[in-house]
Structure 1
Amino acid sequence: MSNVTVSVILPTYNGEHYIRKAIESVLGQSYSSLELIVVDDGSTDTTPQIIAEYAAKDGRVRYLRNEVNVGIQRSLNRGLKEARGAWIGRIDDDDSWVLTDKLEKQLAFLENNPAHVLIGTGLIVQDEAGDELYRFYNPREDADVRQRLLYRNCFSHSTVIFNRDRALQIGGYDESPATLHIEDYDLWLRLGQHGRVGNLSDYAVRLTLHDQSISATQKIVQFKKQLELTKHFKGAYPRYFWNRMRSWLRLGLYEAFGAVAPAYVERYIVARYKRR
C-alpha cells in the first residue's frame, strides 16, 4: 500500500484469546488509509494462524514474526522501522478500539495542530466478562500534561498516535532492562521534548484486566523504574520536586497496602497537605 497515513503496531505473544477483537477494532476504523503491523514474538499457541487468516483476507494486515521471543521493546522497534505511515498507532493484543472514528478524530486534530507530535485519548478498563470497571481520564492540554508527566504516564499506550520520523530520530523505543514495561513512558518523555502532546476527551479504547495483567508487586517494580527514569528529565518538565514527592508517596502506599486503594489514600493525603 502506497497511500498509508497511519501504521498501527500490534505486538503479541500467545494472544489467541483476545487478538481477534483487537485486529477487528483496527480494521473497522472509518479512516481506512492504514496498515496494521502485527509483530508476533514467537507465539506457541494458535496466534500465528489467526494473524495469517486476517492477513489473507485484508491487504492492510502485515504479519511479522520473530522466530524466537525477543521481548516487547525489540518487537515494537521492529514494527516502528517497518512502518510506512507518517503516524504510528498502537494497540495491545488484549485491548480494543471502541470508537470507529478514533483515528479520524486524532488525525483531524493533528492536521489542525501541527506542533503536536503525540495525541492520545481516555481509556475504559473492563474485566474479562466485558463489564466496565472504571474510566481513566488523561489530561488534555499540553500544559496540563507537562505538569503531571514526571509523576505519572499521562498516555495509555493503546490510545496514542505519534510522529514516526520524530520517534525514529530520537532512537525509537529504548531496549534496556531499565525501561522494560515502561518503554512507552520513556518514549513519551523524550517525544515531549520535541513537540506538543495531549489527549482527546473521548474514551476510545477498552483495556481488559485478566490473570496476566500486571500485579501489585509488579506495579511496585514499575514505580521504582519510573522514579529512576524521571531523574533524567529533571530540567525538561515542571514541578520536578512536587511530582517526585508524590511518586515516593505512591510507592510507599503500594508497598504498604498493595492494590487495595492506594490512589484514594494518596489523594486524601495530598489534599490535606495542600490545605496547610
Structure 2
Amino acid sequence: MKVSILLPIYGRSIYLKEAIESVVAQDFQDWELIIISDPPLTPATKEIISHYIQKDKKIFFFENKTKLGFPASLNLGIKMAKGKYIARIDDDDIWCDREKLRKQIEFLEKNKGYGLVGGGAIVIDEKGKELYRFFEPETDKEIRNYILYRNPFLHSSVVFKKEIVEKIGGYNEKVPGACDYELWLRMGRLVKFYNLQDYLIKFRLPTSYRDKKSVRLQRIQRTLEKIQIIKQYKKDYPHFLKAILKDYLKIFYLLTLARCSKLDDYLYRKRQTSIWRA
C-alpha cells in the first residue's frame, strides 16, 4: 500500500459524496481511504458510507465510541494506516486534479530530503461556485520564510511521509484548532517542504460565516493558539517578531473592523490572492 488517505467526519453528509468521489477518481489507485467519525452519526451519513465501503474494498470506516476530537481521530487514522504516505481530505473539500496523488508521490519519491508536499486551491462557496484561486509558496526556502506568518499548507492538499510523523509523535491533541500547522512546524526540523504550483483541491469556504460573533471568537481563539505555537518555533524559522506582531494586529482587527462582513470578505480574499499574504 502506497498511500493512506484520512477523512475525519462529524456527522454531516451534504458534501461527503463529492469528497469520496474525488478520491475514487484519482488516476493513482494504490491507496486506502480511512473514514473516521466521532458520534453521533446521522442516518444519511451512515447510508453514504455504507454504500462506498460495499462498493470499494479500499474504503474503511471506523466510528469512535466517544468523541475524540479532530487531532485524536487523525492520530488514530495514522495508527491504522498501512501506507508509506499519508494524505488528507476534509468532508467538504474536493480533490479537483485527478493526478493529485500521483504528482505528489512522484515528487516525494524523487526528492528524498522532502517529507511534505501540498499545492494550490480553488476556493468555492457552499454551492460549489468558484470565488477565487491561489497558490501557496513553492520552494522550501520560500515556505520557511513564510511559515511563521501563517499556515502555508492547506490540510486537504497535503501528502506526507508516515514514518516522519510517527517519529515526531503525530498531531498535537492539545492544539485542536491548529494541529496541522503545529505538525508542519515540527516536521520542518527534519524534512524539507514543497508546494506544487497546480490547483489540487477545491476548498469550500462558507460565504456567510465570517460576520457571526461566535465564529469571530473562534478565529480569535485560533490566533491566540497560533501565537503560543510560533513562540515555540521562533529559533527554527525566520521573521518571528513580524509574525507575532501580525497576529496581535489580527486580534485587534477581529475585535473591531471584522464586524463588517463585506470588509472582512474583501480582506480575506486579498490576503489569499496577493502580496498581502505575507
* Same structural fold, with TM-score higher than 0.5 when normalized by the shorter chain: yes
Which whole-Å CA distance do the structure 2 matches of 1:213 and 1:25 have between them?
25
Which whole-Å CA distance do the structure 2 matches of 1:19 and 1:124 have between them?
18
Distance 1:235 1:212, change over 3 A: same
- Name the amino acid aligned to 2:192: R
Kindly state the Cα deviation for residue 51 of structure 1 after the two structures are TM-superposed: 1.1
Q: How does 1:8-157 map to 2 (within 5 A)?
A: 8-45=5-42, 46-157=44-155
Distance 1:251 1:162, change over 3 A: same
Which whole-Å CA distance do the structure 2 matches of 1:132 and 1:117 have between them?
30
Kindly state the Cα deviation for residue 64 of structure 1 after the two structures are TM-superposed: 1.1
Are the aligned partners of 1:170 and 1:190 in contact in 2 as well (CA < 8 Å)? yes
- Corresponding residue of 1:189: 185
Over the matched positions of the two proteins, sequence identity in percent amounts to 36
- Corresponding residue of 2:247: 247
Distance 1:70 1:246, change over 3 A: same
Kindly state the Cα deviation for residue 180 of structure 1 after the two structures are TM-superposed: 1.4
- Name the amino acid aligned to 2:169: G
Are the aligned partners of 1:15 and 1:94 in contact in 2 as well (CA < 8 Å)? no
Alpha-carbon RMSD across the aligned residues, in angstroms, is 2.1
Which whole-Å CA distance do the structure 2 matches of 1:266 and 1:125 have between them?
13
Which whole-Å CA distance do the structure 2 matches of 1:212 and 1:192 have between them?
35
Q: How does 1:184-263 map to 2 (within 5 A)?
A: 184-210=180-206, 215-258=215-258, 260=264, 261-262=266-267
Are the aligned partners of 1:250 and 1:266 in contact in 2 as well (CA < 8 Å)? no
Kindly state the Cα deviation for residue 158 of structure 1 after the two structures are TM-superposed: 0.1
- Name the amino acid aligned to 1:231: K
SS at match of 1:182: helix
Distance 1:265 1:51, change over 3 A: closer
- CA deviation vs aligned residue, 1:147-192 (integer Å, no higher than 9, x gap): 111110000000000110110111101111xx11211001111011
- Name the amino acid aligned to 2:54: A
Distance 1:143 1:254, change over 3 A: same
- Corresponding residue of 1:7: 4
Which whole-Å CA distance do the structure 2 matches of 1:42 and 1:49 have between them?
15
Count, aligned residues:
264
Kindly state the Cα deviation for residue 198 of structure 1 after the two structures are TM-superposed: 1.5
Which whole-Å CA distance do the structure 2 matches of 1:36 and 1:145 have between them?
28
Which whole-Å CA distance do the structure 1 matches of 2:208 and 2:189 have between them?
33
Give the TM-score normalised by structure 2.
0.89
Which whole-Å CA distance do the structure 2 matches of 1:223 and 1:166 have between them?
27
Which whole-Å CA distance do the structure 2 matches of 1:148 and 1:193 have between them?
15
- Name the amino acid aligned to 2:255: E
Kindly state the Cα deviation for residue 15 of structure 1 after the two structures are TM-superposed: 2.2
Which one is further off, 141-150 or 240-249?
Answer: 240-249
- Corresponding residue of 1:161: 159
Q: Any gaps of 5 or more consecutive residues in structure 1?
A: 272-276
Kindly state the Cα deviation for residue 252 of structure 1 after the two structures are TM-superposed: 2.2
Q: Any gaps of 5 or more consecutive residues in structure 2?
A: none
Are the aligned partners of 1:253 and 1:262 in contact in 2 as well (CA < 8 Å)? no
Distance 1:250 1:60, change over 3 A: same
Kindly state the Cα deviation for residue 68 of structure 1 after the two structures are TM-superposed: 2.2
